[in-house]
């Protein structure tokens, strides 16, 4: 999750929060005639507008991704809280060597724990 957070922050810094300015720039470009665009050193009005819209689209995608990420993080936090209660009762950790275990490895670990408990109890 740390990598995802860093990617979101980096992209947000790159794209910025200048939505209103971008929309005003599109309106400005659409309102200028050929001579006025030449004075602004804009050779391709359509291409420039397309580039602005690409940035706006990327920004919107990043905002949606950030919302999804926050929702996923909240679900993970809730799961880890519930899992912590089970760990306090003896369930083994999902993490080994600072990495999340695969489902197969965790099932194997649970089976081994169950066998060990069964052999010690009876």
Q: Tell me the β-bridge partners of 96.
A: 99
What pLDDT, on the 0 to 100 scale, is given for residue 71? 95
Give the domain ranges of the chain: 2-89, 92-122
Check if the beta carbon of residue 52 is closer than 8 Å to that of residue 46. no
Check if the beta carbon of residue 29 is closer than 8 Å to that of residue 37. yes
Sign of the four-CA dihedral 84, 88, 91, 97: positive
pLDDT digits (tens, 9 = 90+) for 24-55: 878 888 888 888 877 878 788 888 888 888 88
DSSP state of 97: T
Q: What is the pTM of this model?
A: 0.54
Sign of the four-CA dihedral 94, 99, 105, 109: negative
Residue numbers in the chain where pLDDT is lower than 70 = 1-19, 122
Q: CA–CA separation, 79 vs 86, rounded Å?
A: 11
Check if the beta carbon of residue 59 is closer than 8 Å to that of residue 19. yes
What pLDDT, on the 0 to 100 scale, is given for residue 68? 94
Number of residues that make up the chain: 122
């Amino acid at each position: 999750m740390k990598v995802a957070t860093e990617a979101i922050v980096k992209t947000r810094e790159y794209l910025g929060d200048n939505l209103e300015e971008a929309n005003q720039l599109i309106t400005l470009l659409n309102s200028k005639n050929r001579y006025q665009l030449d004075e602004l050193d804009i050779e391709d009005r359509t291409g420039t507008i397309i580039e602005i819209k690409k940035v706006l689209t990327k920004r919107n995608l990043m905002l949606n991704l950030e919302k999804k990420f926050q929702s996923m993080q909240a679900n993970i936090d809730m799961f880890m809280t519930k899992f912590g209660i089970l760990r306090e009762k003896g369930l083994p950790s999902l993490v080994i060597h600072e990495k999340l275990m695969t489902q197969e490895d965790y099932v194997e670990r649970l089976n081994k724990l169950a066998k060990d408990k069964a052999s010690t109890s009876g």
